[in-house]
Amino acid sequence: MKHKSLGEWMQTLGSMIGLLLIIIILSVMSDNFLSLGNILNVLRQVSINALIAFGMTFVILTGGIDLSVGSVLALAGALTAGMLASGMDPVLAVLIGLIAGALMGAFNGLIITKGKVAPFIATLATMTIFRGLTLVYTDGRPVTGLSDSFFFEMIGKGYLFGIPFPVILMGAAFIILVFILRKTTFGRKVYAIGGNESASILSGIKSDRVKIWVYSLTGMLSALAGIILTSRLNSAQPNAGFTYELDAIAAVVLGGTSLSGGRGWLVGTLVGALIIGVLNNGLNLLNVSSFYQQVVKGGVILLAVLLDRKKSA
Amino acid sequence: MEQSIIRIEGIKKSFGPVEVLKGVDFDLRTGEVHALMGENGAGKSTLIKVLTGIHPRNSGEIYIRGESKTYTNPKQAEKDGIAVIHQELNIIPTLTVAQNMFLGKELKYGRTGILRSKEMKQKTIEYLDKLGVYIDPDQEAGELSVGKQQMIEIARAIATDAEVLIMDEPTAALTDKEIEALFKVIDSLKKQGVGIVYISHRMEEIFKICDRITVLRDGEYVETRDASTTDLNEIVKMMVGRDLGEQFPHRVRSEGEVLLQVKDISAPGYFENISFDVARGEILGVAGLMGAGRTEIMESLFGARKFKGGEVRLDGNPLKIKHPADAINKGIGLITEDRKGKGLVLNQTIRENMALTNLPHVSQNKIIQKKREQELVDRLMKRLNVKATGPEQTVGSLSGGNQQKVVIGKWLGIQPKLLILDEPTRGVDIGSKKEIYHIMNELTSFGVAIIMISSELPEVLGMSDRILVIHEGKVGALLNRDEADQEKIMHAATGGE
């Protein structure tokens, strides 16, 4: 275990140094950046992308990809909002929303495994389907008039011990998922399938089943992100989560996880999500136009990947 | 007067702190076949890679036709007429046979980049014809058997009109007929004055075609001998540095009651109406030509492939297997012929690979128990004598013999009742081979039933209690050890009467 962890730390070392550099530069350029308020703000903004990216890490570790996460976020968010608006018990509505997300993910997994469709194609299709269903369900308009229950408000807007609740959710998910990936047979199977699926099957691993679970997990995490977003905005937007899959994939790649599967870890993904979040926030503070922000973000991703290539070459 | 095309003096090469070549000498004359022998990890492949510029050397000299040379990439070596057929195939599966044959050396109209496809197809047929095979030049290379792919690779190297041809295990995947054709080509190349470096684990081949033999051991140069003045035992002794004794350990037949009964199973296009049984403590050898359907039969029994009809019984009870996981639950293990493709997760450690088949055993409530895992892996590594820096070494960096031991370890962990070994010693050095045979004998003495597919007839004859011969998907013969010999098996395997 020790050797391997060391290797993983090295893999992410570049990203961590990068994150530190960005933080140092931004804190010099902007007085507000390192204030406690702003740090918590950044973390809250990061939490949504991070939750999706955690799921994406599992998917990519198996050698797959999930482009439908943004649409799952929107549909699950809209469904939850709809249930709340019709007066359903908030706890129940949130639970059903999470299950709906998991089912959407399971649908992805079934098409990929039983239908033998490449993950890119399968989730490209379901991305469009789920987005379409969101538009049908919401009639293209935001869902408003949600419950003012303490529980639901808490999810997106609340604080616990001074920490935004979404950040706590992100932290809890992180700890649970790291445990699953590192300490359980399920995690071991995820890595093995990404490393060599044929060998895994011949070793008695039901790779189809593992993959369906992985896509379901990603669906549920995307739904959780959608519910947080809905709570924060106090409404569900039909175009919510648009292109979120790209930020999630970027976070995973920045974290050193190999797109061909079998190699990577969640700490890296968290660092990757933080880099993206800190950049967004810092560039906003510096009043950089949102057009330029995209250029900078893309440039950082490219730089990180190029440095990674150099290191492994 | 014979002339050396290649002369290598005192080559030293280290990877990090590990010295893999400790001052190796070698020379190749025109028109000779020079065998480079040694166990896996002895430094043969590294020497070739240093020679052709894939790895830089630490010290020593390389002379090509008397001129001191240092290549920094294989292209330069190729320019000087040195062609290499590597052990790992360099075939692009989605391209056609002709496209592969001319990859990077396409024939064009002048400098236009427009391809002379017809001519290339014609030449492909010609080159392959020299090897005595016909392969449709328009066929996708990925659809071909490994043996045919190897033939393309060999044809490609010969087509470069090289003066030096280096062959690293060229016959590992070839049928006897193809090997025969290859030897003829080697013979005619020899007469044209081409020097050939030949690396192989198959001793009979070496003595059939080689003029001189150089032996390496642990990166050290041992000796060079004329093939006519030495024999198999002497070479083996030089390779392992000790007397190995008999090639196959003494085997005591210890048969118990019937464990597995297979009756009339079929898979259209692969095999039909296959019936046989295996008893506890028995080794059933399965012989046959490559592509006869042996691997497919075993993968079907293991749940990795579908079959139709018939019946399979284990301990007298009907066996329902839909997935390898079911087979493992019933105590059946399969050691695949495709070690790298299907046997191991190459980027993972020895520990992770060995634990993969044993996850239920090393976990509690699906949580992996580190200590249990460590104990299992330590025990298996010790029992199998795996040579590695430790359980955390990635299996991709192990030698073939040690990789195979890790695969075997995966399956010893489940304490199988039935172990199916598909080409268990392919690409494995002599020392490890013997260790594997010993393990097989040990397992059968505990009552484990073993099915061993092998294309090496001496191995089949040396290890099996009974021999099942498969010919084109059907049972060609079932022979007892005392009545079987090479001719009888080949006869049944080729469909002779």
Let me know: does B421 contact B448? Beta carbons within 8 Å: no
Looking at residue A143, the DSSP 8-state letter turns out to be B
The token pair at B445 is 């003495």
A12/chain B closest Cα distance in angstroms:
18
Angle between helices B400-412 and B430-445 (to 10 degrees): 10
Which residues of B fall below an 8 Å CB-CB distance to A? 302, 304, 323-325, 327-329, 334, 336, 341-349, 352, 355-357, 359-360, 363, 366-368, 370, 392, 410
Task: Please state, in angstroms and rounded to a whole number, the distance separating the CA atoms of residues B39 and B429.
Answer: 5
Q: What angle do CA A81, A86, A91 make, to 5 degrees?
A: 60
Residues in B closer than 8 angstroms to A176, CB to CB, are none
Give start and end residues of each alpha helix (H) in chain A.
2-29, 36-61, 69-85, 90-113, 119-138, 150-157, 165-183, 185-195, 197-202, 207-233, 244-254, 266-285, 290-312
Comparing CB atoms, the residue among A186, A196, A204 nearest residue B357 is A204
Q: Which two tokens stand for residue B458?
A: 């001496």
Summarised one tens digit per residue, pLDDT across range A147-191 is 788 999 999 999 999 999 999 999 999 999 999 999 999 999 999
- Nearest by CB to B345, from A1, A195, A204: name it: A195
**Same-domain status, B211 and B266:** no
Which among B346, B356, B368 has the least Cβ separation from residue A203? B356
- Any idea which residue has 């496209």 for tokens? B99
Question: What local confidence, expressed as pLDDT, does residue B303 receive?
Answer: 94
Whether the Cβ atoms of residue B271 and residue B297 lie closer than 8 Å to each other: yes
Q: What is the pLDDT at residue A3?
A: 45
- Please choose, from the candidates A209, A192, A202, the residue with its C-alpha nearest in 3D space to the C-alpha of residue B327: A202
Question: Backbone phi, then psi, for B475, in 5-degree steps?
Answer: -70, 115
CB contact under 8 A, A196 and B328: no
- Give which of A202, A257, A265 to mutate to test B binding, by max B Cβ within 10 Å: A202
Write out chain B residues lying below 8 Å of A185, CB-based.
359-360, 363, 366-368
Residues B335 and B480 in one domain: yes
- What number of C-beta contacts closer than 8 Å exist between A and B? 82
**Residue B323 to residue A203, Cβ atoms within 8 A:** no
Of B262, B275, B340, whose CA–CA distance to B302 is shortest? B262
Q: Say which of A196, A205, A263 has its CB closest to residue B344.
A: A196
Amino acid, single-letter form, for residue B189? L
Closest Cα to residue B381, out of B368, B371, B391? B391
* Boundary (domain end) residue, out of B240, B269, B288: B240
Closest CA to B53 of B73, B76, B39: B73
My answer on whether B186 and B262 are in the same domain is no
Report if residue B139 sits inside a domain: yes
Q: B132 and B212: one domain?
A: yes
Q: Which residues pair with B199 in a beta bridge?
A: B168
How far is residue B289 from each of residues B303, B410, B440, B461, B467, measured CA to CA in Å?
23, 28, 23, 15, 14
What's the fold here for domain A34-312? Answer: ABC transporter involved in vitamin B12 uptake, BtuC (1.10.3470)
* Torsion sign, CA atoms B14, B18, B23, B29: negative
Average pLDDT of span A37-64: 95
CA–CA min distance A191, chain B (Å): 9
Beta bridge partners of B27: B7
Q: What was the pLDDT predicted at B164?
A: 93
Is B354 a member of any domain?
Answer: yes
Residue type, A153: E
Q: Which residue among B323, B342, B363 sits closest to A199, beta carbon to beta carbon?
A: B342
Residue B83 parent element (H or E): strand B82-85
Contact yes or no for A138/A235 (Cβ under 8 A):
no
Chain B's closest residue to A199, CA to CA, is: B342
Test B345 with A201 for CB contact under 8 angstroms.
Answer: no
Please state the domain count of chain B.
Answer: 2
Does the predicted interface ipTM exceed a cut of 0.90?
no
- By CB atoms closer than 10 A (0-12, 13-18, 19+), residue B382 is exposed
- Between CA B146 and CA B153 the distance in angstroms is 10
* Segment holding B440, helix H or strand E: helix B430-445
Mutate to test the interface with A, among B296, B348, B353, B404 (most CBs of A within 10 A): B348
CB B348 to CB A262 under 8 A? yes
Determine the Cα angle at A153 with ends A152 and A155, to 5°: 70
Amino acid identity, residue A175? Answer: I
Question: CB of B178 within 8 A of CB of B133?
Answer: yes
Which residues of chain B have a CB within 8 Å of the CB of A191? 345, 348, 352
| Rounded Cα distance, B159 and B83, in Å | 10
Residue contact A199–B345, C-beta within 8 A: yes
Q: How far is B343 from chain A (nearest CA, A)?
A: 5
Last residue of a domain, one of B173, B206, B240: B240
Question: How many Å lie between the alpha carbon of B466 and the closest alpha carbon of chain A?
Answer: 26
A interface with B, Cβ–Cβ < 8 A, is 1-4, 183-186, 188-189, 191-192, 195-196, 198-206, 262-263
Question: Which of these, A90, A92, A73, A95, lies nearest to A153 by C-alpha position?
Answer: A90
Report the pLDDT value the prediction gives residue A78, as an integer from 0 to 100.
Answer: 96
DSSP-derived pairing of the beta strands B466-471 and B283-288:
parallel
Find, among A95, A40, A84, A76, the residue nearest to A225 by Cα: A76
Strand order in the sheet with B18-29: B18-29, B4-15, B59-64, B67-68
pLDDT over 90 at A138, yes or no: yes
Q: Does the beta-carbon distance from B344 to A199 stay under 8 Å?
A: yes
Which residues of chain B make contact with A199, given a CB cutoff of 8 A?
341-345, 356
| B236/B380 same-domain check | no
Name the CA radius of gyration of chain A, rounded. 19
- Classify residue B248: in a domain, yes or no: no
> Is A4's CB within 8 Å of B344's CB?
no
Return the sign of the alpha-carbon dihedral for residues B37, B40, B42, B47.
positive
Query: Across chain A, what does the average pLDDT equal?
Result: 91
Task: Decide if B252 is inside a domain.
Answer: no
Q: What is the CATH number of the domain that holds B173?
A: 3.40.50.300
Report d(CA B108, CA B114) in Å as an integer: 5
Q: Do A204 and B327 touch (CB under 8 A)?
A: yes
Count of other CB atoms within 10 angstroms of residue A103:
16
> Domain for residue B247, yes or no?
no
- Nearest Cα neighbor of B332 from B289, B300, B366, B285 is B300
CA B348 vs CA B88, B392, B403, B462, B482: distances in Å = 20, 9, 12, 34, 44
Same domain for B445 and B359, yes or no, is: yes
Strands in B82-85's sheet, in edge-to-edge order, are B82-85, B164-168, B195-199, B33-37, B212-217, B220-226
Same domain, B382 and B424: yes
How many whole angstroms separate alpha carbon B133 and alpha carbon A192? 39
| CB-CB under 8 Å, B349 with A4 | yes
**Which residues of A are less than 8 Å from B301 in CB distance?**
none
Asked if residue B196 and residue B57 are part of one domain, the reply reads: yes
What is residue A261's three-state secondary structure?
coil
C-alpha span between A46 and A42 (Å, rounded): 6
Q: Which residues of A touch B356 (CB under 8 A)?
A: 188, 192, 199-200, 203, 205
CB contact under 8 A, A202 and B343: yes
* Amino acid identity at B307: F
Same domain? For B294 and B232 the reply is no
Indicate if B60 and B199 belong to the same structural domain. yes
Whether residues B425 and B371 share a domain: the answer is yes
Amino acid at B476: G
Q: Do residues B155 and B204 share a domain?
A: yes
Cβ atoms of A236 and A77 within 8 Å: the answer is: yes
Q: What phi, psi does A12 have (nearest 5°)?
A: -95, -5
- Cα B83 from Cα B295, distance rounded (Å): 33
Enter the tokens of residue B37. 């022998």
Cross-chain Cβ contact A202/B324 below 8 Å: yes
Count the neighbouring beta carbons within 10 Å of the beta carbon of residue B27: 18
Range of the domain at B102: 4-240
Rounded Cα distance between B444 and B433, Å, is: 17
Closest chain B residue to the Cα of A182, Cα to Cα: B368
Contact at 8 Å (CB) between A253 and A272? yes
Domain's final residue, options B240, B268, B286: B240
* CB-CB under 8 Å, B302 with A203: no
Q: How confident is the model at residue A1 (pLDDT cuts 50, 70, 90)?
A: very low
Per-position DSSP letters for B349-409, written without gaps between them: BHHHHHHHTTHHHHEETTEE-HHHHHHHHHHHHHHHT--SS-TTSBGGGS-HHHHHHHHHH
pLDDT of residue A277: 93
CB contact under 8 A, B345 and A200: yes
Give me the pLDDT at residue A95, please. Answer: 97
Phi, psi of B66 (to 5 degrees): 80, -5
Query: What are the 10-residue block averages of pLDDT along chain B, 497 residues in total?
Result: 80 81 92 87 86 91 91 87 83 90 85 87 90 87 82 85 88 78 87 90 84 90 91 81 66 82 92 94 90 91 91 92 94 92 93 94 93 95 91 88 93 94 86 90 93 88 93 90 85 72
